[in-house]
Structure 1
Amino acid sequence: MSIIENALKKANSQNLIEKNKSELSSNKEEKLNSVFVDKPVDIKVSSDEFFIPKDNQVSINWAALAGDGFLDQNDTKSQLAEEFRVIKRPLVNNIQGGEVNGISRANLILICSSLPGEGKTFVSINLALSIANELDKSVLLIDADVEKPSVSKQLGIKQSPGLIEYLEDEKVTFSDILLKTDLSNLNVIPAGKRHKYSTELLSSQRMYLFAEEVSRRYKDRVVIFDSPPLLVATQAQILAELVGQVVLVIAAEETPQNIVNESISKLSNCDVVMTLLNKTKKELDLYGYNYGYGKYGHS
């Protein structure tokens, strides 16, 4: 079937973040601990490894991942690998030409679906793996489905403090929640603990500042958010306002057209919205945007 890029230009640019920069601290330790604070700071960061403690270095369970139908790091010529090469290309192209095309925060990508079970986490992880395998790209995969997180479990990573802890507590730093995986260009931020005010935390100023900072500071990094389903929780719509690109995953022959239309209407303020048909039995067509993955399509 097809992936369709629909650039939806905002009528008025949204100035969510004041661009005033806080003064640099003269204390070196304070500099390292203030990579992400309530106001962006001008600290030059040369390497993520400089900030990630050894305890935050984790290994992906590649065997279990491949057994569940995800991309296999040892088989880069599979149909699924080729499909995600096609899927990622327009997203990467938008990142490279984001400022020229007027796409704000083009390197922030939200993967969502209308309903549970359409395969958004499957797409999020495979897209992250595919982009991370490029020589000049690094990926930060964030599990923002804070009500039903599954990224860490799927990757075989032990659950640890994550996005919720960072948003809830100003003493928690970015490096506290960042996990470096054994795939050199892939880092992960878990969802963190369950919280009764998770929606309010995701819509907080600290979350807006986090998104702005990670987009502005790391222009060569692709940040992928695995979000809750659009029609189940308001969190996905909140997150969609923070990113430059949205991929709406649609389960073939399962999701009604009116449900898809309702989801697209909720994304009307987003710069770029793409749709990706999942679980289709159609064959791959690498010369267009027609492709699908049958048995692989699961969440």
Structure 2
Amino acid sequence: MTSSIEKAAQRLEQLRNAGTPVPGEAVHLDPTSAPQQTKSSLPVAESLFQSSKSAEDASSPKQVSKSVQVDLASLAAAGFVTPNAPRSATTDQFRVIKRPLLDNATGKGAALVANGNLIMVTSAMPGEGKSFMAINLAMSMAMELNHTVMLVDADVARPSVMSTLGLPQARGLLDLLLDPTIGVSDVLLRTNIDNFTLLPTGLPHQRATELLASDAMVALLEDMSKRYSDRIIVFDSPPLLLTTEARALASHMGQIVMVVQAEKTLQSQVQHALSTIEACPIKLMVLNQARTGGVGAYGYGHGYGYEHTHGRARSAAVAA
């Protein structure tokens, strides 16, 4: 019996020394002596790495537009339309002006307007208040519950939207036209105003005005009208009678708002400017700095007369 036990013990010791698993015992292997175990564990490690990488990618935040803060108190003090401001003659005027534009942009007008969400604000000559109109119009539209608005500073020769809003110049429209690797979301600025974003003019370029008439601009406008079809896009454009680029831009718009300064802009200039945008389906005129009710007096604010060039209806409002 003893001989059998000794032989069994010797056999067990041989198995242990050889690294052979023994039933009923935990096995402690040296990693360097078990190549098969290391080999079989590699796919598991790769799988865990891939799963971890996928989870990391899924949890990574998507790129969002840069955020800027607009000084609403300063804008309100300067006579601009701002959210949550008390009702005023100016806010009422822009309610009147924006309503047909919104109807045309959303297909609620008399007829469907191609690119109706692309609205260009311009004038015959500089100094007639088009940038003031563009900013206020975009602000007023953004106050609507069901609309988002993008304001584009397309007056590349004399940009003023950013400075008026108290913001520094940043990459924008010109950068999009010059660099095809840049997307709109890379230069779009979110603001502290609900439903209101900005697209600056961009960095200065010596051929900035020519870029507005380039094929790149045509492609960008087409892309914007489709990609942001649910968004109202307001363009502050160069004056129509200064450059032909403004007219090229106008040919891709669904609606044009032309600002005319009361008792300053010549009738011949208005007629000439209108003749350059005949291709646009909807043209509206806004009279800036109209007289108040007092004889021979002007209001401190901005007064607007409004006329739809394709219709008979007119409405007028002036600041008290």
Q: Place the TM-score, normalised by the shorter chain, in its bin.
A: 0.7 to 0.9
Partner of 1:274, secondary structure, is strand
SS class of match (2:155): coil
* Alignment match of 1:248 (pick from 253, 258, 279): 258
How far is the alpha carbon of 1:76 from its aligned partner?
A: 4.3
Equivalent position amino acid for 1:291 in 2: A
1:75 alignment partner in structure 2: 85
AA paired with 1:58? V
Contact 2:255 2:282 in 1 (8 A): yes
Secondary structure of 2:104's counterpart equals: helix
- Picking from 207, 210, 216, the partner of 2:217 is 207
> With CA pairs under 8 Å and 6+ residues apart, which has the higher RCO, 1 or 2?
1
Alignment of 1:1-40 (within 5 A): none
The whole-number CA distance in structure 1 between the counterparts of 2:317 and 2:63 is 39
Corresponding residue for residue 235 of structure 1: 245
Please tell me the residue identity of whatever aligns with 1:159: Q
Partner of 1:8: none
AA matched with 2:230 = D
Is residue 315 of structure 2 the alignment partner of residue 290 of structure 1?
yes
* Matching residue of 2:96: 86
1:207-241 Cα offsets, whole Å, 9 max, x none, are 11211121122222100000011111222111101
Q: 1:110, 1:247 within 8 Å by CA — same for their partners in 2?
A: yes
Q: How big is the shift at 1:101?
A: 1.8
Please give the alpha-carbon distance, in whole angstroms, between the structure 2 residues aligned to 1:76 and 1:134.
Answer: 16
Deviation of 1:269 (Å)? 1.0
Asked if the contact 2:76–2:85 (Cα under 8 Å) also holds between the matched residues in 1, the reply is: no
The within-5 A match list for 1:44-123 is 51-53=63-65, 56-97=66-107, 101-123=111-133
Structure 2 unpaired stretches of 5+: 1-60, 294-302, 307-312
Question: Percent identity, aligned pairs only?
Answer: 40
Higher helix share: 2
Task: Quote the Cα distance in structure 2 between the aligned partners of 1:142 and 1:114.
Answer: 19
Contact 1:144 1:227 in 2 (8 A): yes
TM-score by length of 2: 0.72
Q: Does 2:193 match 1:168? A: no
Give 1:61 deviation, angstroms: 1.3
Q: Whole-Å Cα distance in 2 between the matches of residues 293 and 57 of structure 1?
A: 35
Q: Deviations over 1:123-157 (max 9, x none)?
A: 00000000001111000000000011000011111
Find the counterpart in structure 2 of residue 272 from structure 1. 282
Are positions 1:138 and 2:126 aligned together? no
CA–CA distance in 2 between the matches of 1:273 and 1:199?
Answer: 23
Deviations 1:59-114 (A, max 9, x none): 11112212221113332411100100000001011112279724210000000001
2:198 to 170, 176, 188: 188
CA distance in 2, matches of 1:256, 1:294: 23
Compute the displacement of 1:50 (Å): 5.2
Gaps spanning 5+ residues in structure 1: where? 1-48
Indicate which of 239, 258, 281 corresponds to 2:291: 281
Match of residue 160 from structure 2: 150
Distance in 2, Cα, partners of 1:294 & 1:74: 19
Who wins on radius of gyration, i.e. which is larger? 2
> Would you say the 8 A contact 1:106–1:244 is kept in 2?
yes
Decide whether the 8 Å contact of 1:228 with 1:236 is kept in 2.
Answer: yes
TM-score, structure 1 as length reference: 0.76
- Partner letter of residue 238 of structure 2? P
Give the structure 2 partner of residue 261 of structure 1.
271
Corresponding position of 2:43 = none
